[in-house]
Amino acid sequence: MGPLSERERIQILMIVGYGDRIRSHEETCDLFNQEHPERAPIARSTVGRLVSKHFATGTVKDREVQENPHCSTRQIGLNNNINHSTVVKLLKKEKYHPYKVHVLYKLNEDEPYRRLDFCEEIMFRCDGDPNFLNNIVFSDGATFCLNGSVNRHNCRYWSQENPHWIQECHSQNQGKVNVWAGIVGNRIIGPYFFEENLSAARYLEFLRFDLIPALAVLFPNNEDGDMPH
């Protein structure tokens, strides 16, 4: 059974009571466990920690992590004057897991079929020409932020369940540099840097005046007189 929910923590405090009618931790445990036979019984120490936390902070929530699930364990330690390793142990005890961000690309509905068609076409071409792949320029682009983000290795989302968190990124905004590079055969082409947004018109200009001349230098003796394609 997982950790106590916020509703269950509130219920425990209500059972404890207030004023001149305060139940003992042992009595609170018995009453709560009777109300929740479906979950693992709580101990007196659980009630004690919850009461102390509520008295000290005025809340039953794990505030630092819940309000900012992207906070680092070292920052939590500094904010609360406790050791970093203690923070990690407490988060593990409460079943929190540091979910890592992965870079994904949005796919259209027909994307799987188009990719399958591409793979079948490539296999067909390779059967007819074993050297076919060496004549293709495989290229990709990347965007580097000038402010130092995004570092996926330092980007975490602390949660007790997978939040399926999605952060939509517009990768060609101001303050970034776009980079293009390619591979053909065993040779690297580029990299080429673009400080402005890489629009369709700018990309066509790059292909005509930068990429094609570079390929002409690398492959001056193509049998058909054309660039690698």
51/130 same-domain check: no
Residue 75 lies in a domain: no
Whether 208 is in a domain gets the answer: yes
In sequence order, the β-bridge partners of residue 189 are: 182
CA–CA separation, 13 and 7 (whole Å): 10
Q: What is the spatial distance between Cα 35 and Cα 98, in angstroms, rounded to a whole number?
A: 32
On whether both 211 and 115 belong to a single domain, the answer is yes
Helix or strand (DSSP H, E) at 179: strand 176-184
On whether residue 140 sits in a domain, the answer given is: yes
Residue 228: which pLDDT band, with cuts at 50, 70 and 90?
A: very low
Of 39, 61, 83, the domain-final residue: 61
Q: Mean pLDDT, the chain, as a whole number?
A: 75
Sequence letter at residue 221: N
Given a cut of 80, whether residue 155 has pLDDT beyond it is no
Structural domains counted in the chain = 2
Share of the chain above pLDDT 90, in %: 10
DSSP of 72-128, one letter per residue? -HHHHHHHHT--HHHHHHHHHHTT-EEEEP-------TTHHHHHHHHHHHHHHHHHH
135 and 213 co-located in one domain: yes
Does some domain include residue 33? yes
User: Does residue 117 sit in the same domain as residue 203?
Assistant: yes
**Cα–Cα nearest to 50, from 20, 12, 5:** 12
- At 157, is the pLDDT very low, low, confident or very high (cuts 50, 70, 90)? low
Which residue has better confidence, 108 or 158?
108
Pair 214, 139 in one domain = yes
Q: Which helix (H) or strand (E) holds 35?
A: helix 25-35
This prediction's pTM:
0.41
Residue 51 domain flag: yes
Least-confidence region, from 75-79, 89-93, 179-183, 193-197: 75-79
Asked if residue 152 and residue 212 are part of one domain, the reply reads: yes
120 & 52 share domain = no
| Confidence band of 127 (pLDDT split at 50, 70, 90) | very high
| Residue 30: domain span | 1-61
126 found inside a domain? yes
Residues 212 and 118 in one domain: yes
CA angle 23-27-28, nearest 5°?
75
Pick the last residue of a domain from 45, 61, 77: 61
Per the domain annotation, does 102 fall within a domain? no
Q: How confident is the model at residue 168 (pLDDT cuts 50, 70, 90)?
A: low
- Measure the CA–CA gap between 12 and 23, rounded to whole angstroms: 11
Please, what is the Cα angle at 213 between 207 and 216, to 5 degrees? 120
pLDDT tens, residue by residue, 8-62: 888 888 888 877 778 888 888 888 888 888 888 888 888 888 888 777 766 666 5
Domain assignment present for residue 128? The answer is: yes
Q: Indicate whether 26 and 120 sit together in one domain.
A: no
Per the model's pLDDT, the better-predicted residue between 110 and 153 turns out to be 110
Among residues 29, 45, 61, which one ends one of the domains?
61
Token output for 185: 């055969």
